[in-house]
Amino acid sequence: MAQPEKKLLETLNGKIYEHPPVWMMRQAGRHLPEYLELRGRAKDFLDFCYSPSLATEATLQPIRRYNMDGAILFADILLILDAMGRNVRFVKGEGPQLDPASSAADLDKFPLEKLLDRMSPVYETVSRVKSQLAPETTLIGFAGAPWTVAVYAIEGKGGTDKSAARLKAYQDPEDLDAILDILVETTAHYLKAQADAGADALMVFDSWAEGLAEDSMDRLVIKPTQKLIQRVRDLGVTQPIIGFPRGSGAMLEPYAKHTGVTGVGLDTALPVKWVHEALPKSMPVQGNLDPLRLISGGDAMDARIREIKSAFKDRPHIFNLGHGVTPQTPISNVERAVKVIREE
């Protein structure tokens, strides 16, 4: 018997559906009571990510509840910095903290094989999830983009205005470039390991692409992403890759054209009609419902979902949010959104 199609994967391969496939960033996590229960079983968040049994279960929870078209590997973009020896801590209520890297040498302490081996529980999670997913569900592996991971490495924490990293890019450009190069190489191998373990598609999160000057966007986001995608392809990976340069604004256009990504994630602020005009007509897009719409729900949420669907009806489109599901989101609104997207 023929396998049922993976709608999400087919969309990345260029297919257009009347009702787009759907998944949501942070679909696993704190808005789900079953996640909170599971989370309590691990010593800390890193242990949780490095436990294939817990991470597999967290990946599958939103699939069981919502029957999403895509499952995203449960892990974190900061694991790679922990593997590099930056001692990543997730402090309750304060977000991630780590030992800041003062130069590229701080990120170059261990041989690549050792780093990749440290992250091997992640590949084990990918292969366990893959064996338990229905054949029509697409499994998405991911990593942080070089710039976003560099921001965490330099600042030593999240939620900043990124000025230390942006200033370093101006004042110490050679060292910043060396940091990005180390991250390109490590991340390429990390993504390849996820692809080899069974990921159907890959996503590169550039969560801190916002607020960069045009020349900085080119140098810190577009060029390193282009290098990363090229390196992943050189390693033999054929899976489609979604790039998500959050906050790129009009620089989405050169990002989409020059990085080599298969499709792009759209943040909430991007005007959908502009996106449709600016990007090549065959390029898949994913996004951009405001996550807060899922808290408020109601007819206004339904209407906005239909507007986004309609704007992208003539191109490959994966329905998603402009950023992650927030902890306050009522489950009933996520259920409702999925129904509206599928016109059920």
- State the binding site: 26-30, 76, 152, 207, 323
Q: Which is nearer to ligand 1CP, 205 or 319 (CB)?
A: 205
Q: HSE of 243 in the Cβ direction (CA atoms, 13 Å)?
A: 30
Residue 297: CB minimum distance to ligand 1CP, A: 20
190 a catalytic residue: no
Q: Which is nearer to ligand 1CP, 140 or 229 (CB)?
A: 140
30 a catalytic residue: yes
Q: Which is nearer to ligand 1CP, 80 or 182 (CB)?
A: 80
What is the per-residue binding string for ligand 1CP in 5-34, x denoting contact by CB under 6 A? --------------------xxxxxx----
26 a catalytic residue: yes
152 a catalytic residue: yes
Catalytic residue among 76, 82, 200, 206: 76
**Contact set for ligand 1CP, span 167-206 (CB under 6 A):** 205
306 a catalytic residue: no
Q: How far apart are CA 51 and CA 249, in angstroms?
A: 37
**Residue 138 binds ligand 1CP, judged by CB under 6 A:** no
Among 40, 93, 159, 280, which residue sits at the site for ligand 1CP (rule: CB under 6 A)?
Answer: 159
Q: How far apart are CA 312 and CA 287, in angstroms?
A: 10
> Cis omega before residue 67 (within 30°)?
no
Q: 204 phi and psi, to 5 degrees?
A: -115, 115
**Cα torsion 64, 65, 71, 76: sign:** negative
DSSP class per residue in 84-98: TT---EEETTTEEE-
Residue 206: CB minimum distance to ligand 1CP, A: 9
Catalytic residue among 152, 246, 267, 293: 152
Name which of 269, 265, 339, 344 is nearest 301 in CA terms.
Answer: 339
Residue whose CB is nearest to ligand 1CP in the complex, by number = 158
Name which of 235, 177, 153 is nearest 202 in CA terms.
Answer: 235
Binding segment for ligand 1CP (CB under 6 A), chosen from 80-88, 90-98, 224-232, 290-298, is 90-98
Name which of 299, 334, 289 is nearest 31 in CA terms.
Answer: 334
**Contact set for ligand 1CP, span 295-334 (CB under 6 A):** 324
Spell out the alpha helix ranges (H) of the chain: 7-12, 33-39, 45-49, 52-66, 79-83, 112-118, 120-132, 146-155, 163-171, 173-197, 214-216, 223-234, 252-258, 272-278, 293-296, 298-311, 331-342
Please report, as ranges, the residues that interact with ligand 1CP according to CB under 6 A: 25-30, 39, 45, 72, 74, 76-78, 90, 95-96, 142, 158-159, 205, 207, 324
Residues with a catalytic annotation lie at 26, 30, 39, 76, 152
